[in-house]
Copies of this chain bind each other. A is one copy, B any other.
Amino acid sequence: MKILVVGANGQIGKHLVQSIQASGSHTARAMLRKQEQEADFKELGAETYIADLEGEIDEITQAADDVDAVVFTAGSGPKTGKDKTIMVDLDGAVKTIEAAKQAGVKRFVMISSFDTTRRAIQNAPDSFAPYVIAKHYADEHLRNAGLDYTMIHPGTLTNDAGTGKVHTGTAVDAADVPREDIANVILESLKNDASIGKEFKVIGGQTPIQDSLQQL
């Protein structure tokens, strides 16, 4: 598989490109905003493509040329300006979805937020609500886009080393999960067609990632 990683320079994105390259049988194309970000990815043997998520859809469509899957793991994060929240987390995600459609790439993995439901919007503190709203509408767009999607709702992300074990499900209480494990959940999801059309939460747990995805 060749996998376009949108947000490759983010923390999950870096782990993901590493895992893809380490797999031996798959290749990552890292979509990056700036040329100076390329070196690390080239060193891993990954392809790189410079494109701006805030630019035209066509730029992203070109980045997705000839790949088998697209992963959206870009994020302005809840702490950037709210203008970036709507431009990246909502509009950047929707443009990536549309670009995948235009490029004829059916397989799409979205890294969402832990809870993007209407209830989560209402319960979010004012400072966090705009981010939840942005992810809510991006997720809605993906569900209706006609793609073979998998939507991953990670718990509280940490920089701890991955354990290779997680707990997944739809009714799961929030808890920590290492970014490295999320990256491996993405790759395993792409390798397992049973994850198509599914969305699930992921927190740290006791079940090997592959088994956990079988149980979805």
Q: Which A residues lie at the B interface, using CB under 8 A?
A: 55-57, 81-83, 85-87, 90-91, 118, 121-122, 126-127, 129-130, 133-134, 137
Contacts and interface: CB of A to CB of B under 8 A. Distances in A.
Q: Could you tell me the dominant secondary structure of chain A's interface residues?
A: helix
B118 A57 contact: yes
Contacts of A134: 86
Given A90-B137, A91-B121, A121-B91, A129 B57 contact: no
B91 A82 contact: no
Contact of A87 (B87, B90, B91, B129): B129
16 contacts: A82-B82, A82-B83, A82-B85, A82-B86, A82-B130, A83-B127, A83-B129, A85-B86, A86-B86, A86-B130, A87-B129, A87-B130, A90-B137, A91-B121, A91-B133, A137-B137
A91 B137 CA distance: 9
Q: What are the 4 tightest A-B residue pairs by CB atom distance, in nearest-first order?
A: A82-B82, A82-B83, A86-B130, A83-B130
Counting chain B CB atoms within 10 Å of each CB, which of A81, A126, A133 scores highest?
A133
A137 B83 CA distance: 15
A201 B83 CA distance: 26
